[in-house]
Structures are given as C-alpha cells and as structure tokens.
Amino acid sequence: NAGVMQNPRHLVRRRGQEARLRCSPMKGHSHVYWYRQLPEEGLKFMVYLQKENIIDESGMPKERFSAEFPKEGPSILRIQQVVRGDSAAYFCASSPPSRGNDYGYTFGSGTRLTVV
C-alpha cells in the first residue's frame, strides 16, 4: 500500500528552464494538494485539485505556475521559466474523497527544487 509518491526527489534547473513535479496520490485518494516550503519557513498552501478539476488555486503565484490532475496519471505541478526564488521543497498531499479534512492529509516526501 504505497503512500503518496513524488518524483523526482531532487531537481536542479537553470534559470529560465521549466520544472515539472509529479505526484501520485495514495490509492483511493482523489484529492491532491500542493504546498511549498521555502527555506526556514512553514508550508504554504498552493493549490487543491480533484480529478480534472482545479478547486482552489488561491495560493498559486499568478504567473509561471500551473497544476493539473488528469483523469489518468499523476498530478503535475509545472513551473515555467524558473527563477532562484522558486528554490524550495514542494510537497504533495492527498486525501480521500469524503471527510478528508478530518483525518489530516498524507504527505509525500517532497521534491526539492534548486534553481542555479
């Protein structure tokens, strides 16, 4: 019973390149959340998705960032034209379709993005 799987674990990109972060939720979980952790800070909510729908993207930067959760396959967080300030740990979490909020999320191990 695999947990939330994120890949890659570490990603290095040069300024201006694109970063693609992948998240496969736990089996039976249809809700996915992305959080960002900047150095020495707590996690900040970015986006909440269900299959084929973005429910809440209030934490996403307005430009260069996008997220999707297709009918088949993992959820993808995409960062275009990365800048040094995008260097952070990006965590994905998943929850079941009902009352997921009551039980807390299950987090993946994160993708640590370094922009050089």
Please, which residues have CB within 8 angstroms of residue 106's CB and are 6 or more apart in sequence? 3, 4, 26, 29, 93, 94, 95
The footprint of another protein (CB under 8 A) covers: 4, 6, 31, 33, 35, 41-45, 48, 55-56, 59, 91, 95, 99-110, 112
Q: Which is nearer to another protein, 80 or 104 (CB)?
A: 104
By C-beta, is 16 or 28 nearer to another protein? 28
Length of the chain: 116
Residue with tokens 């201006």: 16
Q: Is 92 helix (H, G, I), strand (E, B) or coil?
A: strand
Name the minimum Å distance from CB 6 to another protein. 8
Q: Among residues 15 and 60, whose Cβ is nearest to another protein?
A: 60
